[in-house]
Structure 1
Amino acid sequence: MEPRETARPWLRALPAVLVVLPALLGPWLARRSVDDSAGKPFTGPDRNAWLGTDRLGRDVFTHMLHGGWGLILLAAVIAVMVTGPSSVLGSVAALRPRAGVLMERSADLAVLLPPVLGVLLVMLSWPESGALGVVTVAVLFGIPYCARVFAAAATGVAATGYVEAARVCGESSSHIVFREMLPNMRELCCAQLGLRFVAGIYVASAAAFLQLPGSLGAANWAIMVRENASGMLLNPWAVLAPSIAIAVVAVGVNLSAAAFGRAARKAHP
């Protein structure tokens, strides 16, 4: 692979890295506690508060540093827990057509019932579940649809000569899935990982925005948008900063995952 092609995925990942890295290290980089007062409510940016203050006079920049790591970590966990099992289930469904039919029916049901509705039902009936409830709902609703995508792609891979040869030689299904099929779906795995991360951001942000019990704590980008919307005309950065951060992380990670997937396919055709 040419150096320019190798560097391109990293360039696409740069916007996401510039937001994700400070968010993950934010609690250690913050100059003050998240609850410390920095001035009057909804004052504009100054030397004391680089992004101004929120509705309680707290530093918006400090809240930005404290409020991102939980959201990003939760979305990353959801992405991995959905993409990993889905890739295996989709490959098995391509090898076993009867399992593929069952997967299609499950995917249809998951699409008809929005994940946010599932989050509401779980969090309101099981308030102490917290982040575990959000992850559980996101995984249960995400796997059927994602596995269906993998099954569609794996059908073509299952019909290739090397897979047929492995089946004739009596190789186990696990060997065929993990050694023959999944390595040839690297690009799809990376693309789905990025899309599932975006879906995880959406579900986690919705749970935090709706202030469901014990979802992600008080210092969170989504909660910042909700709580400071009333003072947007006074200090727009109290709302714009967390909104932009959520958008950049979601879109940046998605584009980065797709770019790394294409790079992996070119490196291992």
Structure 2
Amino acid sequence: MRAGSWLLCGGAVAVALFALAGPWLPLGSPTAQVAPPLMPPGPGHQLGSDLLGRDVVARLAHGGQALLLQALGATVLGSLAGLTIGTLTGLGTGRAARVPLRVLDALSALPSLLLLLLLAAGRPGDDLMMLTAITAVSVPFSVRMIREATRRVAGTAYATAARARGDGVWHRLRHDVLPNIAETAWAEAGVRFIAATQLSATAGFLGLGAPAPAANWGRMVRENAAGLTMNPWAVLAPAALIVVLALSCTLLIDRVATRAGTELPGSVTA
């Protein structure tokens, strides 16, 4: 892996650790007014203050944990659902395999942002509902990806022979399918994580999830956009953290996808 690749991977780890551990770092209160509004960087306030005079660094430290946990939780749940439904429908035939796909097709026909808003409106300000909404948005894509990978494996000679021997579905899944789609499943989970990160940031930008004054990287961009010319760091810093996290994870996905021999949509070449 080239030096630039290592740098981006290190960036992903650093941003993730900062997001998770940020609330416990001794960086002050994220809600206290400590300076004049939109004060530029200076002594004691390395990135200045936001629109309400709150320290930008403290807001950053407290604003990434919910976003990252929502993205991780949605990735795990969406990938498990996609792996379960995708493999079973990939091996199945007839109505039992078609019905779940038609339901998911109907779900995927709704624009992602609209579905997110509809689900979040049921319990506004609830981070758990946001996690559920982000998961629901990602499941149809996961199922389609895993199903196609499963169908490719099911068409091979050794998988056909296993079926002819009378091996059960669970036996074929364990010994024939899962070992051969593992790398594709990991790569697909990486794509889901990037999409979940973007959706979580978008939800924060729109004011969904935990309400203000709770810090959120997405909400910080919206809150301070009006003062961009006075203290651009209040907008650029949270946006940069989101971009670095997504770009670094994209690099890792490319590596996994290359090893798996799978071309995934939405990735970039390092």
Q: TM-score, with normalisation over the residues of structure 2?
A: 0.86
Alignment partner, residue 99 of structure 2: 102
Q: Is the 8 A contact 2:31 2:214 kept in 1?
A: no
Q: Judging changes above 3 Å, is the alpha-carbon distance between structure 1 residues 169 and 47 closer, same or farther for their aligned structure 2 residues?
A: farther
Determine which of 133, 136, 142 is the counterpart of 1:140: 136
Unaligned 5+ runs, structure 2: 262-270
Amino acid at match of 2:103: S
Q: Is the 8 A contact 2:27 2:57 kept in 1?
A: no
Question: What is the distance in 2 between the residues matched to 1:39 and 1:85?
Answer: 47
Please report how far the alpha carbon of residue 139 of structure 1 lies from its aligned counterpart in structure 2 after TM superposition: 2.3
Determine which of 107, 115, 118 is the counterpart of 2:115: 118
Q: Judging changes above 3 Å, is the alpha-carbon distance between structure 1 residues 264 and 38 closer, same or farther for their aligned structure 2 residues?
A: farther
Determine which of 217, 233, 250 is the counterpart of 1:221: 217
Please report how far the alpha carbon of residue 161 of structure 1 lies from its aligned counterpart in structure 2 after TM superposition: 2.5
Deviates more, 1:22-31 or 1:235-244: 22-31
Alignment partner, residue 199 of structure 2: 203
Alignment partner, residue 30 of structure 1: 26
Q: Judging changes above 3 Å, is the alpha-carbon distance between structure 1 residues 8 and 95 closer, same or farther for their aligned structure 2 residues?
A: farther
Which whole-Å deviations, capped at 9, do the CAs of 1:46-93 have from their partners, x for residues lacking one? Answer: 221111110111111111111111101110110111112212221211
Unaligned 5+ runs, structure 1: none
Q: Is the 8 A contact 2:40 2:48 kept in 1?
A: yes
Task: Indicate whether 1:241 and 2:237 are aligned.
Answer: yes
Question: What is the distance in 1 between the residues matched to 2:90 and 2:227?
Answer: 53
Q: TM-score, with normalisation over the residues of structure 1?
A: 0.86
Question: What is the distance in 2 between the residues matched to 1:198 and 1:94?
Answer: 25
**Aligned-CA RMSD value:** 2.5
Alignment partner, residue 61 of structure 1: 57
Identical amino acids, percent of aligned pairs: 36
Please report how far the alpha carbon of residue 45 of structure 1 lies from its aligned counterpart in structure 2 after TM superposition: 1.1
Superposed counterparts of 1:60-209, under 5 Å: 60-98=56-94, 99-127=96-124, 130-209=126-205
Which whole-Å deviations, capped at 9, do the CAs of 1:80-117 have from their partners, x for residues lacking one? Answer: 11112212221211211334433442343223202321
Q: Is the 8 A contact 1:134 1:203 kept in 2?
A: no
Please report how far the alpha carbon of residue 154 of structure 1 lies from its aligned counterpart in structure 2 after TM superposition: 1.4
Alignment partner, residue 49 of structure 1: 45
Q: Is the 8 A contact 2:27 2:58 kept in 1?
A: yes
Question: What is the distance in 2 between the residues matched to 1:42 and 1:95?
Answer: 58
Question: What is the distance in 1 between the residues matched to 2:148 and 2:256?
Answer: 21
Q: Judging changes above 3 Å, is the alpha-carbon distance between structure 1 residues 8 and 171 closer, same or farther for their aligned structure 2 residues?
A: farther
Amino acid at match of 1:121: L
**SS of the residue 1:127 aligns to:** coil
Question: What is the distance in 2 between the residues matched to 1:22 and 1:214?
Answer: 20
Which whole-Å deviations, capped at 9, do the CAs of 1:14-55 have from their partners, x for residues lacking one? Answer: 221121111211112232121233321111112211111101
